[in-house]
């Protein structure tokens, strides 16, 4: 399966804007034109773009050629004298009608493309895309499948402690898997601030606005991996919201669906040890928590409180700490991670927070403890009127 790189030129500027650059290998196919794309809409947009550029280039060629001719033909050194008339109805009609005809020539194909872009009817699959700080949530509405897609670039690369990979800041743990030759309808929204779901080679760019749902669609014609990013400045980790779409054959998509519907195995805790969980917890903390609470847990009060020596982090009962991570804090910037992270990931993060930064509580949180709090929270909500 081939990997597409031509859209990297669109992403380079956003990365360099925060002082980061992509490796030379990832920039090998850098270009300045629109990608032709792999969907009918993206190819229509490309053709419209090239038509418009050709018209503009033709106008420029004619105007500047005429201007250069006048400058040389009627220059003062040749004894040229200005005309004595003050208007010419024929010329005025020509430069009034000609731009109108040019605009009509551009407006007709533009309108047809816009109408096609807004036609989300008769979709084979509907996917709800929800942006949040700083990840994407995908829900296959007619398949009963949903998951979060997050940046998977190791923190060592981000902090310059390791060599940057080929797809630095453009790789995720779970890509959006779509079948080729099927019409996919996208419902794009957000649960916090404004984001924008943008994949150049699919010809899709839709703003994700809280309280609103924007529609779009794509019909991918070629299997491959297509990358994009959040295109709306959405906070401190805006550059860490990549999008990866994996287009597969219909047979491979059916197999993938079957894998997603299999029951998950129970998390094993026989080898649940402090040293391994501290390492895993730090990795998860750096990925999901450090942007707000800082690498050293100092936070950025009052919006992002410090975790160091916090009564929640070092105090008892531990269930209070677990509940806060699971449920978040309503009305604040602290999201609920119950639907985003597994029991093992949450247990590792809490273990790390309770033993990092000279806390040394000795508390080792297990997935069973997290699961018990999940069930208790669910039971409490179920009994509420």
Domain identity same for 356 and 375? yes
pLDDT at 120: 86
On whether the pTM is more than 0.85, the answer is no
Domain identity same for 24 and 136? yes
Give pLDDT tens digits for 283-299: 888 878 887 888 888 88
Q: Determine the 3-state secondary structure of 4 from DSSP.
A: coil
Per-residue DSSP letter, 200:
G
Q: Is the pLDDT of residue 8 over 60?
A: no
Write out the DSSP string of 133-192.
TTEEEEEETTTTEEEEE-B-S-HHHHTTSS---TTTTS-BSS-EEEETTS-EEEEEEESS
CA dist., res. 40 & res. 32, Å (int):
21
Q: Is the pLDDT of residue 21 over 70?
A: no
CA dist., res. 286 & res. 161, Å (int):
14
pLDDT at 380: 52
Domain identity same for 80 and 158? no
> CA distances (Å), 240 to each of 150, 231, 359, in order?
8, 11, 29
pLDDT at 379: 53
249 versus 313: the higher-pLDDT residue is 249
Domain identity same for 174 and 61? no
The band of 378, judged by pLDDT with boundaries at 50, 70 and 90, is: low
Q: Is the pLDDT of residue 16 over 70?
A: no
Specify the pairing of strand 195-199 against strand 224-230: antiparallel
Q: Length of the chain, please?
A: 385
Are 221 and 232 within 8 A, CB to CB? Answer: no
Q: What percent of the chain has pLDDT over 70?
A: 87
Q: What percent of the chain has pLDDT over 90?
A: 40
Domain identity same for 75 and 148? no
Q: Report the chain's terminal Cα–Cα distance, integer Å.
A: 53
CA dist., res. 163 & res. 151, Å (int):
17
CATH assignment of the domain containing 61: 1.10.287
What integer is the mean pLDDT of 54-68? 93
Alpha helices of the chain — where are they, by DSSP H? 8-16, 40-73, 89-117, 155-158, 250-260, 274-288, 290-293, 311-314, 318-327, 343-355, 367-383
Q: Which of 125-134, 239-248, 277-286 has the lowest mean pLDDT?
A: 277-286
Domain identity same for 132 and 215? yes
Q: Does some domain include residue 269?
A: no
Give pLDDT tens digits for 132-185: 888 999 999 988 888 889 898 887 888 888 899 899 999 998 999 999 999 999
Q: Does some domain include residue 267?
A: no
Domain-terminating residue out of 260, 282, 298: 260
pLDDT at 226: 95
The sign one gets for the Cα dihedral 73, 76, 81, 87 is positive
The band of 262, judged by pLDDT with boundaries at 50, 70 and 90, is: low
In whole numbers, what is the pLDDT of the chain averaged over residues? 83
Q: Does some domain include residue 266?
A: no
Q: Which of 31-45, 143-157, 162-176, 252-266 has the lowest mean pLDDT?
A: 252-266
- Containing domain of residue 331, as a range? 274-383
Are 12 and 170 within 8 A, CB to CB? Answer: no
pLDDT at 339: 76
CA dist., res. 13 & res. 6, Å (int):
14
Q: Determine the 3-state secondary structure of 3 from DSSP.
A: strand
Q: State how many domains the chain has.
A: 3
């Amino acid at each position: 399966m081939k990997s597409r790189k031509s859209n990297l030129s669109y992403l380079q500027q956003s990365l360099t804007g925060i002082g980061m650059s992509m490796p030379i290998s990832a920039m090998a196919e850098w270009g300045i034109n629109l990608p032709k794309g792999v969907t009918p809409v993206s190819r229509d947009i490309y053709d419209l773009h090239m038509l418009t550029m050709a018209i503009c280039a033709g106008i420029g060629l004619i105007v500047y050629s005429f201007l250069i001719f006048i400058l040389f033909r009627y220059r003062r050194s040749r004894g040229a004298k200005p005309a004595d008339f003050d208007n010419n109805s024929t010329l005025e009609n020509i430069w009034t009608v000609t731009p109108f005809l040019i605009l009509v020539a551009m407006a007709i194909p533009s309108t047809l493309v816009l109408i096609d872009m807004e036609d989300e009817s008769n979709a084979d699959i509907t996917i709800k895309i929800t942006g949040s700080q700083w990840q994407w949530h995908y829900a296959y509405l007619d398949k009963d499948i949903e998951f979060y897609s997050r940046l998977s670039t190791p923190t060592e690369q981000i902090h310059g402690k390791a060599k940057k990979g080929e797809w630095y800041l453009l790789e995720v743990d779970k890509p959006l898997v779509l079948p080729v030759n099927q019409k996919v309808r996208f419902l794009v929204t957000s649960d916090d601030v404004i984001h924008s779901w943008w994949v150049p080679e699919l010809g899709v760019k839709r703003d994700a606005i809280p309280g609103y749902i924007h529609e779009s669609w794509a019909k991918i014609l070629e299997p491959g991996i297509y990358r994009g990013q959040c295109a709306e400045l959405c906070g401190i980790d805006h550059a860490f919201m990549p999008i990866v779409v994996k287009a597969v054959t219909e047979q491979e998509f059916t197999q993938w669906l079957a894998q997603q519907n299999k029951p998950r195995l129970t998390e094993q805790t026989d080898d649940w040890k402090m040293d391994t969980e501290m390492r895993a917890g730090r990795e998860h903390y750096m990925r999901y928590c450090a942007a707000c609470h800082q690498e050293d847990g100092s936070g950025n009060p009052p919006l992002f409180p410090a975790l160091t020596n916090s009564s929640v982090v070092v105090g008892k009962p531990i269930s209070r700490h677990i509940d806060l991570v699971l449920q978040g804090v309503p009305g604040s910037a602290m999201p609920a991670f119950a639907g985003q992270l597994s029991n093992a990931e949450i247990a590792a993060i809490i273990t790390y927070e309770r033993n990092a930064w000279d806390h040394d509580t000795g508390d080792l949180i297990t997935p069973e403890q997290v699961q018990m709090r999940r069930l208790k929270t669910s039971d409490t909500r179920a009994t509420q009127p």
